[in-house]
Amino acid sequence: MRIENYTCITNYRSMTMKLRKILKSMWANYCNTFKDVPPGAMF
């Protein structure tokens, strides 16, 4: 039971790390694309 729980936690952590990497790259792309446009113009 404890071992399963631990693997679940590690899987969750690796998943969040992957998501963070994806979000970071997406944000970098967004910044590069809309560098000239102020954020207020988006809304």
In this structure, the number of other CB atoms found within 10 A of the CB of residue 16 comes to: 10
pLDDT of residue 31: 78
pLDDT of residue 19: 93
pTM assigned to the model: 0.50
pLDDT of residue 29: 86
Q: How many residues does the chain have?
A: 43
Per-residue pLDDT tens over the stretch 1-43: 577 777 888 888 999 999 999 999 988 888 787 776 666 665 5
pLDDT of residue 7: 86
pLDDT of residue 35: 73
Burial of 5 (0-12, 13-18, 19+ CB in 10 A): exposed
